[in-house]
Structure 1
Amino acid sequence: MAEKVKINPSILQWARKTAKITEEQAAAKAGVSLERYQAWERGDDFPTISKAQKLAHDFRRPFALFFLPDVPRDFQPLQDFRRLGSVELGTGSAFIIREIQQKQAWISELNQENGEKPLPFVGKFSSKDKPEEVAVDILHTLQIDPSNYSSSNVIKDWISAAERQGIFVSRTSFIHSKLTLGSNELQGFAIADPFAPFVFVNSDDWAAPQLFTLVHELAHLWIAKSGISNEVEPVTPDRAKFHPVELFCNEVAASALMPMDLLHREVSADFSYRYEDVFSLARRLGVSAYALLVRLYKLGMLTLSQYGILKEQADLGFQQFLLKEEQRKAKQKDSEGGPNPYLIKLNKNSRLFTQTVLDAFRGGVIEPTQASYLLNVQVNKFPKLESLIYG
């Protein structure tokens, strides 16, 4: 008979609950009956070593944690700024938030130990300030000119600019093959720490909403409001369902991505207000046609009638875009066998975080096992990550 291990049942229960996993799901993962699993959480019975290791893996907790005498202090939950009526955060969201919190805590401690100064832009403003002023400061700090991006990949330009200023940007929608993140549940979140600010963007969205989410989360840093967001978008109706902080950060994002003076230059007297022209301008700015229409309407540059007509065309254009995207992704998967797994890990970890960990590892500051744990990559595969950073 396989040897059983006397784990702490209270910690087993805590690990399951913080992973947003039900008793039924945990029993199925362990391959035992519900009654047997419940006996483990009561302490009436104990799992075998292999079963306990399997549960530790499924709950994303170190196996040794099960043997502590008391439930450890976990990271404090981030404030939930999501829209009223949002679905409860699931297992995937719990895992990605915890993972980013662990990375953020490590890099913040490292930066403080190295005598790094706090970043002056974190908490520089509050939600009582004017969104336009915050937007101008973001553009100035990141040295971004929305009228003159350096490439056609606008979100990449923004991420590179943010990471040059010490902001860690993580992007993924992928936990593992059977666990992904839906953007309706979690679109992004921010940890506004002055020594290691971290931003997460759910890449389940297409490029334009991802960019808007990124700048929205940057606004959270500028007003020092750590928290979780979903349904990040320019808002016209139903504002009551949105948290005031979210409305403020939306205004900041809209002002940064679509500055008023730029729009007045672009939408001059000879602007036709045809959907093709609106779409072309939105594409150059890296935003959705809908986001641009809302911005133009709020600035009084569109009548309500014009807005309504163009909004219908934008909705139709978006459906056609989604169809083309599905076809493109299917074709890419067939020809390339899917995305590069190391590029996925690099984007998930943040390029800046990956580079920092690799530098610490190469400099002997951290052990190979810790570096591997932080990056979730085997040490002998580090060159694959490095080739993507510096290649």
Structure 2
Amino acid sequence: MAQTVRVNVPRTILDWVISIGAEDRLGEEQRQNIDAWKQGTKRPTVSQLHDISDKLHVPFGYFFMDEPIDDTPPVYAKRTVGSQQPQGHPSRDLVDTIDQMTAIQDWARQDRIDNEGTRLEQVGSRTINDDSNLIAEDIRRALKIDEHWYRKSDLHKPAKAFKLLRERAEGTGILIMQNGVVGNNASRPLDPKEFRAFALIDPYAPLIFINKTDEPETARLFSLVHELAHVWLGADELYNDTALPTGITRLEQVCNEVATAILLPDEDFLEAWQSIPNDTTLDERMKELKKRFPVSHTALALRALKHKLISQETFQKCNQAAQTWSEETENKQGSPDFYDTELSRFDSRFLERLASSVDKGGTTYLDAYRLMGITGDTFTKLMKRAVS
């Protein structure tokens, strides 16, 4: 009979692995075993460590390290949560998502160097000392849209606006990714309270990731444009502002100003407000404005407050009613099929380049599988859909 192999894991390593992992996923028996291992009355088996690794979403190899390490992604230091600085450890869901996006960015960077060799001129082309309207103008020029782009073809609808701006941004060489789970694991949804989006800056392959669980669609649209401003400013960020865009640093304030200038220009907003009869109820006024701009009701109310068109008390009422208004106006769409969902997660240009590289032998199937988190026939079918 084969003997069960048990290993020594120092208490310091056990404490560290548990502190950075999803501890709430551990069962009572696993907790008891861990206590016994810490006390030295028992030693874990390899199988038990594998199980706990899976539960905590922490790499199995961490149990065999000589000492704890800090695997917190650098971008986590750029995180803003409401009006507070970042504290504690990031979730393993966030860590794993950033790790996957970093691997994709590294591949895309090398692919661009190998095939085109040029840096993207927009990365870091502006500073926080530049006028936010000039930065917004630069972005519109790069995306080939005018100041009133949202007036055309139902682009006041946030889903259509997001699709257009994403496609245009991808066309400039910026990688735009989005997902609502870790990889393809539906049991690991991303928490919008932890982050709404992030930007990883690189002169060859800047990458923006949008948390698809962030609701409503206007929130994801604002995040996209906000992160585009970060690309122009050349600054990494993990974005998690509150519903009210009041960044705690000058950098965040500028990015919010740029996003607002693109989605809700002052002059156009004031013109729209003044075109609505004065005796129109607040509810009807907000619904009418929502038909013209791809932003949230809260953003509209905030802009009205800024221009002293409403009082602070009225703004608070608008903010409280915003959820109800959003539910009435958000488009309800059917569920897309599996491959449409997968395609939506990845930058279209990245998929095309990866498919080409695999076809030419520049990237192995194994490396492509690792980048995508998809294998076999699923990968093949997805690549065919991507280039069709």
| Alignment match, 2:209 | 200
Letter in 2 for 1:361: V
Quick check: 1:210 aligned with 2:209? no
Pick from 301, 309, 314: which aligns with 1:309?
314
| Alignment match, 2:349 | 352
| Alignment match, 1:173 | 180
Q: Secondary structure at the match of 2:198?
A: strand
Paired with 2:51 and 2:226, the residues of 1 have a C-alpha distance of 38
Cα distance change, pair 387–361 in 1 and its aligned pair in 2 (3 A): closer
Quick check: 1:227 aligned with 2:237? yes
Paired with 1:225 and 1:355, the residues of 2 have a C-alpha distance of 27
TM-score by length of 2: 0.79
Shift of 1:342: 3.3
Cα distance change, pair 371–222 in 1 and its aligned pair in 2 (3 A): same
Unaligned runs of 5+ in 1: 333-337
Tell me if structure 1 keeps the 8 A contact 2:175–2:206: yes
Shift of 1:209: 0.8
Q: Secondary structure at the match of 1:120?
A: coil
Pairing 1:118-197 to 2, within 5 Å after superposition:
118-145=119-146, 146-150=149-153, 152=155, 153-175=160-182, 176-197=185-206
Letter in 2 for 1:224: G
Cα distance change, pair 324–131 in 1 and its aligned pair in 2 (3 A): closer
| Alignment match, 2:74 | 77
Pairing 1:217-366 to 2, within 5 Å after superposition:
217-231=227-241, 233-235=243-245, 239=246, 242-269=248-275, 272=278, 274=281, 275-298=283-306, 300=307, 302-305=308-311, 308-309=313-314, 312-313=317-318, 315-319=320-324, 321-322=326-327, 339-366=336-363
Cα distance change, pair 365–53 in 1 and its aligned pair in 2 (3 A): farther
Cα distance change, pair 19–323 in 1 and its aligned pair in 2 (3 A): farther
Paired with 2:338 and 2:3, the residues of 1 have a C-alpha distance of 36
Tell me if structure 2 keeps the 8 A contact 1:188–1:202: yes
| Alignment match, 1:378 | 375
Tell me if structure 2 keeps the 8 A contact 1:189–1:199: yes
**CA-atom RMSD in angstroms:** 3.8
Paired with 1:388 and 1:207, the residues of 2 have a C-alpha distance of 25
Cα distance change, pair 279–381 in 1 and its aligned pair in 2 (3 A): same
What count of residue pairs does the alignment treat as equivalent?
A: 372
Tell me if structure 1 keeps the 8 A contact 2:125–2:233: yes
Deviations 1:274-295 (A, max 9, x none): 5434333334421112212222
Of residues 68-77 and 258-267 in structure 1, the stretch that sits farther from structure 2 once superposed is 68-77
Tell me if structure 1 keeps the 8 A contact 2:298–2:318: no
Q: Secondary structure at the match of 1:266?
A: helix
| Alignment match, 1:335 | none
Cα distance change, pair 110–70 in 1 and its aligned pair in 2 (3 A): farther
Letter in 2 for 1:192: I
Q: Secondary structure at the match of 1:304?
A: coil
Tell me if structure 2 keeps the 8 A contact 1:151–1:157: no
Tell me if structure 1 keeps the 8 A contact 2:73–2:95: no
Deviations 1:22-81 (A, max 9, x none): 4x7567797982135648xx9x94532x44555555566776787788888957421223
Deviations 1:345-382 (A, max 9, x none): 33333333333322221221111111111111113112
Letter in 1 for 2:269: L
TM-score by length of 1: 0.78
Cα distance change, pair 132–20 in 1 and its aligned pair in 2 (3 A): farther
Q: Secondary structure at the match of 2:21?
A: coil
Shift of 1:390: 5.0
Paired with 2:16 and 2:354, the residues of 1 have a C-alpha distance of 27
Tell me if structure 2 keeps the 8 A contact 1:257–1:287: yes
Q: Secondary structure at the match of 2:238?
A: strand
